[in-house]
Amino acid sequence: MKEQLEKIRQLAEKELTECGAADVLENLRVKYLGKKGELTAILKQMGQLSAEERPVIGQLANDVRRTIEEKITERAEILRTEFAARKLKEETIDVTLPGKKQNVGKLHPLTVTLNDVKEIFLGMGFEVVEGPEVETDHYCFEALNMPKHHPARDTQDTFYINDNVVLRTQTSSVQIRTMEKKKPPIRIISPGRVYRSDAVDATHSPIFHQIEGLVIDKGITMADLNGTLELLMKRLYGEDCKIRLRPHHFPYTEPSAEVDIMCFNCHGEGCPMCKNEGYIEVLGAGMVHPKVLEGCGIDPEVYSGFAFGIGLERITMGRYEINDLRLLYENDMRFLGQF
Ligand code: DAH
């Protein structure tokens, strides 16, 4: 029995020393010290020993057990240290390497300008509303006092879906949709895409953006229109910005005006940017035509109002001194990154 115990001790020491993984170590522990382990098997035979032999063998068995236990603890400690060292090595980060640059996006200049315009109008108590880009002839033309064959239609050639449905050429359609739904007082702006059958050049695009404005209440006059637009332009272009209204004609306003802003480049002196005019046209406006009000069920004897349509591209180009409309749509990062 003594020899058996010594053999177990030797073999266990050898196996434990060679053991290189935690799960193998656990198997060895079960093999030697477990309930069905080799040491236990020997201790079960103790009963067969004589009274003198028993304490000697018992002592030895305890010795062997302690040796194996110590060896296991020692080995486990070594394996843990090795594992930690290996992991540390595998996961080393070289903090001196240059990082990966994260490109941060920014808003498109058209979006920046639109956000600013919205902010200014919200501050004056306006509401922002939307209208459909695919529109009926009725809302885009007819209800705006532009019956079929009206010459004003020719200036806004559109993409027809069918005889009755068009891609809207102007956000003025939202005026009608709003007045049909809401009772005065009305104070809205409506930004959005518009479409025209135009060839692309530095100042034209078949798709562009407008911001429509509409105010209807009792006692609204041209002075209110002037004051509102002046405030808008001063906020957008600086306090020294001046506007001027030139008589014009739109079928849905009477009187009508085209609105110019003082050239931000030459401050009214005349330069290539404003084609020597000193002023640059930015929008159309006027007092809502009584026929249009009537058509929407609003009594023109009681209510009056003004409307305007701003070209978003145009005021953006003015703000950032962009001289070619196409730059706004090409999405060239070298261009967009400047704003
Ligand atoms: N719809 C016009 C255009 O596209 C702009 C315009 C002019 C809008 C006068 C208006 C307005 O609301 O009253 O050129």
Q: For the chain, which residues make up each domain, given as ranges? A: 2-90, 109-336
As a whole number, the mean pLDDT across the chain is 92
121 vs 272, residue with greater confidence: 121
Strand ranges in the chain using DSSP code E only, listed in sequence order: 127-128, 134-136, 165-167, 186-195, 207-217, 243-250, 253-262, 279-288, 304-311
Average pLDDT of the segment spanning 51-75 = 89
CA–CA gap between residue 236 and residue 283 (Å, rounded): 14
Q: What is the mean pLDDT of residues 222-233?
A: 97
Please, where are the H alpha helices in 19-52? 22-33, 38-44
CA 148 vs CA 135, 143, 196, 205: distances in Å: 15, 11, 17, 25
- Confidence band for 73, pLDDT divided at 50, 70 and 90: very high
Confidence of residue 178 (pLDDT cuts 50, 70, 90): very high
Provide the CATH topology of domain 109-336. Answer: BirA Bifunctional Protein; domain 2 (3.30.930)
Structure-token match 């540390």, residue found: 88
> Does the structure show a pLDDT above 80 at 155?
no
Residue 310 has pLDDT above 90, yes or no: yes
Q: Which residues contact 115 (CB under 8 A, 6 or more apart)?
A: 107
Quote the pLDDT of residue 93.
86
Average pLDDT for residues 65-83, to the nearest whole number?
A: 91
- Say if CB 273 and CB 263 are below 8 A apart: yes
Residues forming beta bridges with residue 188, ordered by sequence position = 127, 214
Ligand 1 atom closest to 288 (CA): 13
Ligand 1 lined by 212 (C-beta under 6 Å)? yes
For the Cβ of 170 lying below 6 angstroms from any atom of ligand 1, the answer is yes
Query: How far is CA 42 from each of CA 48, 94, 126, 190, 307, rounded to the nearest angstrom?
Result: 11, 56, 95, 94, 105
For residue 327, report the distance from its CA to the centre of ligand 1, in Å. 25
Q: What are phi and psi of 258, to 5 degrees?
A: -100, 140
How high is the pLDDT of residue 189?
Answer: 98
Ligand 1 centroid to residue 95 C-alpha, Å? 60
Q: Which protein residue's CA is at the shortest distance from atom 13 of ligand 1?
A: 285
pLDDT of residue 152: 76
- At 166 the pLDDT is 94
- C-alpha 309 – ligand 1 centre gap (Å): 4
Whether residue 185 has a cis bond before it, omega within 30° of 0: yes
CA-156 nearest atom, ligand 1 = 4
Name which of 44-48, 284-288, 297-301, 323-327 the model is least confident about. Answer: 44-48
The lowest-confidence range among 2-6, 154-158, 224-228 is 154-158
3-state secondary structure of 158: coil
Helix (H, G, I), strand (E, B) or coil at 172: coil
The strand pairing partners of 308, in sequence order, are 213, 285
Would you state the pLDDT for residue 45? 84
Question: Which residue has a Cα nearest atom 8 of ligand 1?
Answer: 309
CA 29 to chain centre: 60
Residue 253 predicted with pLDDT over 90 = yes
Q: Is 251 in the pocket of ligand 1 (CB under 6 A)?
A: no
Q: What value does the mean pLDDT take over residues 301-317?
A: 96
Q: Is 145 in the pocket of ligand 1 (CB under 6 A)?
A: no
* pLDDT tens digits, one per residue of 8-39: 889 888 988 898 888 999 999 999 888 888 88
Count CB atoms within 10 A of the CB of residue 60.
16
Please compute the mean of the pLDDT values over residues 120-143 and round it to a whole number: 97
User: Mean of the pLDDT values across residues 174-194?
Assistant: 97
Q: What is the position in ligand 1's atom list of the atom closest to the CA of 306? A: 13
Mean pLDDT of 220-232: 97
Please give the distance, rounded to the nearest whole angstrom, from the Cα atom of residue 273 to the centre of ligand 1: 24
Question: How do residues 274-297 score in pLDDT, each as one tens digit?
Answer: 889 999 899 999 999 999 999 999
Q: Is 141 in the pocket of ligand 1 (CB under 6 A)?
A: no
- What is the structure's pLDDT at 318? 86
* CB-based burial label for 214 (10 Å; 0-12, 13-18, 19+): buried
CA of 38 to the centre of ligand 1 (A): 99
Average of per-residue pLDDT across 160-180: 95
* 172 touches ligand 1 (CB under 6 Å): yes
Name the pTM for this structure: 0.72
- Residue of 211, 292, 308, 310 best suited for mutating to test ligand 1, as the one with most atoms within 8 Å of CB: 308
Cβ–ligand 1 distance for 250 under 6 Å, the answer yes
